[in-house]
A and B are shown apart, each in its own frame.
Chain A
Amino acid sequence: MSKRLSLKIITPLRLLYDEDVDMVILRGADGDMGILPGCESRAAVLGYGPLRIFNNGAEENELAVMGGFAEILNDKVTVLSDAAEWPSEIDRVRAEAAKARAQQRILQKSGDTDIQRAELSLRRALVRIEVSSYPLIRGRK
């Protein structure tokens, strides 16, 4: 376990994370990817989803990342996102309400742009709900 990744998670509002980790799982546009030390250089568009941080063989923390992109270069992982949140910062009740609202709007189908926005906010809400339950559900796959 000599080699480690240096992980940086940055949003316009703050620097969320800047530490060494063993592994990180990112939600890419086409699916999850696990990044281990020694990974080839790559750049990826990120989707809406959880970013999972692993240390000492176990998942240590998780946060909700809302899009953006990541660069992996020489064992340095840089995640640049418009918004990212720790589980403790997520208001579960608000996220549930946003989910219900977005679902209703999609069902009603009122104009194209509204649907797009509703879908985005539904995706955000789903990610928030998923991530906010993280500390409660141990040992997930």
Chain B
Amino acid sequence: MAITRGIKHRIRGVYSTQKITRAMNLVAASKLQRTRNKLQNLRPFMEETLRVAYDMAARVTDRESVYIKARPVKNTAIIVISADRGLCGGYNVNVSKAASALISQNTREHLITAGTKARDYFRRRNRNIIRTYQGVSEMPFYEDATDIGLLAVDLYESGEVDEIYLVYTEFKSIISHTPKTLRLLPLPDSPENSGYMDFEPNEEAFLAYTVPKYVSAVIYGAMVESSACELGARMSSMDSATNNSTELINRFTLQYNRARQDAITQELTEIVGGAEAL
């Protein structure tokens, strides 16, 4: 009966794993619901902030403004938004790879990571990480985004970096997420001025006030998008893990029954054989 005991043990093991994956699936599903509501309320703000920022960038008369004029790029700041925990399919790897694509030979990268997974990814590759944030991926707060945003804008204003990129994952549906790269600064420079605009109190003060706000707002939006993706990815990967364990349990149960039958048949033959020998 040694074989049947081994199989029984494995069935029990898979079963308890399945319990965990099912629970994780349910937890992710309910968190996702909340995050999706948040995202729905946030999207208009994100879209309008981007639109207004680009509108203004096109209308500012001072084309030499530090926020608009592209400088020769020597240092690039890359903000990567990933998850703190794994068990969510390819989510973390995809976003980290998208960020890696921005790193080139000619420029020095300055990485700001949100979530431990991106930090680990780049640390293993000996990349230059200047700041990391943890514990923000599932429940991002506006304050976290402001922290990251102000840090990045500071680096940009002081000339330590010449551009700021943001890499996050865009939420399309529960099963469809795509890593997205966005250049936050400098703002896109349009060749011709697209019209007059009166800036209050004045152009310079306006930009100095709005640009950090725009950067923080977009980072916050990206964090919420990413968090929805993380939860969606976790939900679907835990769902398939649960299905896989059901399959495993079925296969092991079959094996177990066969082994049990074999053992019984064996015993019977032995008894019959023994009786005949008498």
Contact = CB atoms under 8 A, between A and B. Distances in A.
Interface of A: 8, 10-15, 28-30, 33, 40-45, 68-69, 71, 73, 78, 80, 82
Interface stretch (B15-23, B204-212, B239-247, B256-264): B204-212
> For chain A, what secondary structure do more than half of its interface residues adopt (helix, strand, loop), or is it mixed?
strand
19 contacts: A10-B44, A12-B217, A12-B220, A15-B45, A28-B201, A29-B209, A30-B201, A33-B200, A40-B196, A41-B195, A41-B198, A43-B56, A43-B206, A45-B201, A45-B205, A45-B210, A80-B45, A80-B49, A80-B217
A24 to B, nearest CB: 15
Nearest to A83: B142
A89 to B, nearest CB: 15
A33 B217 CA distance: 25
Interface of B: 41-42, 44-45, 48-49, 52, 55-56, 59, 142, 195-201, 205-206, 209-210, 213, 217, 220-221
A68 B200 CA distance: 12
Given A12-B45, A12-B217, A71 B200 contact: no
A13 B42 CA distance: 6
Given A30-B201, A44-B206, A45-B200, 11 more contacts: A12-B42, A12-B220, A40-B196, A43-B199, A45-B201, A45-B205, A69-B52, A73-B55, A78-B48, A80-B49, A82-B213
